[in-house]
Amino acid sequence: MFGNVWTMDGTGIVVVVNALIVSAVLVGLGWFLARGKLTSGVPKGRQVLGEFATDFFLKKARGMVYDYDRDTVVQTVTPFLGTLFFFILVSNLFAMIPIPVVNRPPTSFYSVTLGLAVSAIFGNLVVAARLKGPTGALKHLFWPNPVQFVSEITDVLSLSLRLFGNIGGEYMTLVLVAAVVPVGIPLILHVLGLIPTFVQAFVFTLLTASFLASGLHREERSRKAKHRVFRRKKPEPA
């Protein structure tokens, strides 16, 4: 279940191949939705589906604009969050494929969820560096607490263990139940499994967006908090 990718044993090959299949599926869907003429007016056909799929991430990006350049924030944050969500979602859906080996979700291996968590946190630093500059991004790691960087490590563990625990546990449950009762019950579990499949992808992306927003606007929140503390109360008229 932990999937040692680096040794390239049977498990490592399954992880890499299934992750590549997920990437190919996403690239193909992106090409299909983006090809053809797009309009800034009333969307039609594939453009409707594409805009529907990205609307949530656009809203999250716009909520982080504050005093940064709006276009830069939207063009940077939207694809970052969208890539994480759809990669995890499609990976989770692999458990529904009735083909041996291929039906092992990449996210049921801890090596994959750890890599996704590291990518998410490192990606947050890259986005912060682009918007605030390298100095501002590094300041986030040590200010206002000199050991602030420790929280980045705990964020990685939190994201990776939560995703691995839920998807890996779901997959093992399907395998064990199918070994005992191969007909009927596994189908019910597959249907019920669609809930954590979506929820875990959504939670991972939402937490990543929350960490990113916290890093981008921490100084402003600190300034406002100090302003509230030291603001003098106006005397009431006699």
Quick: pLDDT tens for 162-172.
Answer: 999 999 988 88
Write out pLDDT tens, residues 67-76: 788 888 888 9
Q: Does residue 96 belong to any structural domain of this protein?
A: yes
User: How much is the mean pLDDT over the chain?
Assistant: 81
pLDDT over 70 at 139, yes or no: yes
Q: Does residue 236 belong to any structural domain of this protein?
A: no
C-alpha span between 193 and 196 (Å, rounded) = 6
Position with higher pLDDT, 170 vs 99: 170
Here the tokens at position 223 are: 């300034």
Q: Does residue 161 belong to any structural domain of this protein?
A: yes
Q: Does residue 102 belong to any structural domain of this protein?
A: yes
- Please give the model's pTM, rounded to 2 decimal places: 0.81
C-alpha span between 7 and 11 (Å, rounded) = 9
Instruction: Determine the average pLDDT of the residues in 103-109.
Output: 88
Q: Does residue 187 belong to any structural domain of this protein?
A: yes
Distance set, CA 184 to CA 187, 189, 193 (Å): 5, 9, 14
What's the number of domains the chain is made of? 1
pLDDT over 70 at 227, yes or no: no
For residue 83, what pLDDT band results from cuts at 50, 70 and 90?
Answer: very high
pLDDT over 60 at 49, yes or no: yes
Position with higher pLDDT, 101 vs 202: 202
pLDDT over 60 at 105, yes or no: yes
Q: Does residue 138 belong to any structural domain of this protein?
A: yes
Q: What is the 3-state secondary structure (H, E, C) of the chain?
A: CCCCCCCCCHHHHHHHHHHHHHHHHHHHHHHHHHCCCCCCCCCCCHHHHHHHHHHHHHHHHHCCCCCCCHHHHHHHHHHHHHHHHHHHHHHHHHHHCCCCCCCCCHHHCHHHHHHHHHHHHHHHHHHHHHHHHHHHHHHHHHCCCCCCHHHHHHHHHHHHHHHHHHHHHHHHHHHHHHHHCCCCHHHHHHHHHHHHHHHHHHHHHHHHHHHHHHHHHHHHHHHHHHHHHHCCCCCCCC
Lowest mean pLDDT among 80-89, 153-162, 216-225: 216-225
Q: Does residue 217 belong to any structural domain of this protein?
A: yes
What pLDDT is attached to residue 171?
87
Domain extent for 192 = 10-224
Write out pLDDT tens, residues 153-163: 899 999 999 99
For residue 197, what pLDDT band results from cuts at 50, 70 and 90?
Answer: very high
Count CB-CB contacts under 10 A for residue 128. Answer: 21
pLDDT over 60 at 112, yes or no: yes
C-alpha span between 163 and 114 (Å, rounded) = 9
